Amino acid sequence: MDSQKLNPVDRIAELVSGGENFVLQGGAGSGKTESLKRVVQKVLKANPSLLIACITHTNKAADEIADRVSGDIKVSTIHSFLGEIISPFKKNIQQVFPKLFELPDFVALGDEHYDGDEKVRKKGEHDRFKKAHGQLENRRRTVLSEETPKVTGKRDYDKDPDKYNAQLNGLIGEINKEICEKLAARQPNEFFYNDTAFDNFNDPSYGHDGLIALACHMFEGFPLLGRIVSDQYDCILIDEYQDTSAVVVCVLLRCLPEESKTIIGLFGDSEQAIYSDGIGSAQSHIDAKELILVEKEDNYRCSPQVIDFSNQFRTDGLKQDVALKSLDIGTLETLESRQGSVKLLYGLAPVEVDTGDKAEDRKAKALFRSALNELVEKAASEYPGYVQLKLTNKSIANDVGFGRLYQIFDDRYSEPRDRIRKTLDRLQFGELIELVALHRSLPGDRRSYNRLIAKLRKRGFSISSVADKAKLDEMLRSFGSKDRAAYEAIEYAAECGLMKFSDSHKAFVDRRNELLAKLADDPVFAEFEGLYRNSHRTKLQMLKEVAATSMKHISAEMLEQEYDDRLKDLKQKSFLESMFSPDLALSEILAFYEYEDSEGEYSTMHKTKGTGIENVLLVIDEYGWTTAYDFVSCFAKDIPESKREISSRKLLYVASSRTKKNLVCVRLMKSQEEADQIASFFPEAVKL
């Protein structure tokens, strides 16, 4: 039989028997994990002596695969898999550990990078210089417990950038040398995996990302490691490959000895790669003939109408078809039972006028947001019970219990959603919430209990008696039962030994304290803050007030030069005071993480992969997102070319393909022309 006519599972079994690496590309609802299970069963039936490892990205996914795949195979997360490989080689870990902390030299970008625009180049280069200087400050504080001279201002930097770049690189060279020397003086057995998100220098340990980086450096630097892995496994299968680090994929394909014939198999969908830290697509490895592509066009999840709609946004050419599921009674479901619908509901936004006035522009944005919320409310009332996939905006935050948290970030950042998660994780709220979540899974969930105990022991928390367990239960229960302040809860958790503050956490707090102390002693800032608090919110308003009032420290010239920086300082001060305020309750943090990780009445488009949802109300609007998305471009007939267009289509595909039955899309159109363009992609469009 022609191998290309085989079903995907049989085709992969054929490739495995021939010692070929492969990638199974299947869309949403295609049963990729089920295919992995069947591949394992089939190849083990043909050759029971095969040694197979299945790698996933989360403990939950590992548990699901372990429950679904029978046989003596290894199932683990990518971190557990790599951790077990490298952990015995402490001396090698010590040798590559400095790479986690060494800073790269600062290299200036030329005029070509800025399209010959000198003004843009000067601003861009100084911004890059400040960022590199900030990294140096953090590293010197961590490694040397020393402060760094204040970053050079733009005016002086522009006069002689080469001079200041050379000075910066001199300091970078010095700190890199100190990093290597201090780590070389440690004992190999002092280096360990801390099972958190962060690497620590003084207590030499590595977190999730550090583990992957160290493992890749070790594979590349010590070829024996590849031979050891090849001796252990005949097949290494990776589920959801698109979320795997590109470096890990390269290492497995290129750093294992060719004669070993260890087969690497990837299962996933490049169209569902909506995050920046994974490989995304394996096309370069397919083109290099390192992987053979196997496509799976089945869709066991969605109605035919949803499949046809979402197919329009795939960028890889794969077109999904309806695949009927087997029912418990031994028959197939019927095509009629899979029927659903897709429709568009839209309204027209208030007329947008570019006034050039920031205050007026803010009013226009507020009107747009209000109109959008009103449109979504109308749609939700017509389709009750539909799960909303939409942006994390203020209205949802208030509804699900983290309105104050969202407001704190909305006042400081233009992209609050991304900043919330990154900042909370940096302050180690994610670690605390994970412990609380594992505790809530008890009793009865042995896996959760084992993970909870393992995490706590890595933090040095002693559990040796029934009394210790009772004390632990009381502490973890208190985080959900007591209405305590958010950061106070983090301090309490550290005080009790439930966590240790990371270097990143300490650096954040140190910089907060330094900034607040500096601003407290700055008379210019005090006058600027006074103006702002007295309703002089724009530079123009401040200039008028300064002209009419004699001020001791602020002049018109100073405002022209420093307004943006002073405003940034003011927003940062308010942000930091609010984040550490007793008025921010831990319950808001808990509500945010619960919202991120669950599917209630609302869901977020930022995290839309997973099981299907019966009926979906999808808000197709980029308002509040980064400039990385432009959903209008998804409804153009042209083939997407830019990264922005491709990312937008992938996200729209992922969001729409979550729907099992009925999909209602909602958009606030900027014009009737835009409405007509988008409506042409829908079987039915209704203006509300």
Q: Measured between alpha carbons, how far is residue 609 from residues 27, 175, 282, 310, 586 in Å?
A: 11, 42, 19, 14, 27
pLDDT interval class at 285 (50, 70, 90) = very high
pLDDT interval class at 3 (50, 70, 90) = very low
Selection from 131, 77, 96 nearest residue 210 by Cα? 96
* Predicted confidence (pLDDT) per residue in 232-267, tens digit: 999 999 999 998 999 999 999 999 888 778 999 999
pLDDT of residue 1: 37
183 or 67, which is more confident? 183
Q: Calculate mean pLDDT across residues 213-226.
A: 95
Residue 408 φ then ψ, to 5°: -60, -45
Q: Calculate mean pLDDT across residues 3-16.
A: 83
User: Can you tell me the distance from the alpha carbon of 658 to that of 648, in angstroms, rounded to the nearest whole number?
Assistant: 16
131 alpha carbon, distance to own chain's centre: 21
Q: Yes or no: say if 166 and 108 are a contact pair by the CB < 8 Å rule.
A: no
Q: Yes or no: say if 194 and 11 are a contact pair by the CB < 8 Å rule.
A: no
User: Can you tell me the distance from the alpha carbon of 590 to that of 402, in angstroms, rounded to the nearest whole number?
Assistant: 8
Q: Yes or no: say if 647 and 274 are a contact pair by the CB < 8 Å rule.
A: yes
pLDDT of residue 394: 63
pLDDT interval class at 622 (50, 70, 90) = confident
* Predicted confidence (pLDDT) per residue in 55-100, tens digit: 988 887 788 888 777 667 899 999 999 999 999 999 999 999 999 9
196 or 408, which is more confident? 408
pLDDT of residue 474: 85
Q: Calculate mean pLDDT across residues 1-19.
A: 80
Summary mean pLDDT of the chain: 88
pLDDT of residue 40: 92
Does 20 score more than 80 pLDDT? Answer: yes
- Amino acid identity of residue 538, one-letter, is T
pLDDT of residue 217: 96
pLDDT of residue 341: 97
pLDDT of residue 416: 79
pLDDT interval class at 139 (50, 70, 90) = very high
610 or 685, which is more confident? 685
pTM: 0.81
Does 177 score more than 90 pLDDT? Answer: yes
pLDDT of residue 355: 58
* Predicted confidence (pLDDT) per residue in 506-562, tens digit: 989 998 998 999 999 999 999 999 999 988 888 889 999 888 888 888 888 888 888
Does 356 score more than 70 pLDDT? Answer: no
Helix (H) or strand (E) holding 105: none
Does 651 score more than 80 pLDDT? Answer: yes
Q: Calculate mean pLDDT across residues 587-600.
A: 80
Does 399 score more than 80 pLDDT? Answer: no
Percent of the chain at pLDDT exceeding 70: 92
Q: Calculate mean pLDDT across residues 555-577.
A: 90
Angle between helices 523-533 and 556-579 (to 10 degrees): 80
Does 140 score more than 90 pLDDT? Answer: yes
pLDDT of residue 276: 67
Q: Calculate mean pLDDT across residues 482-506.
A: 90
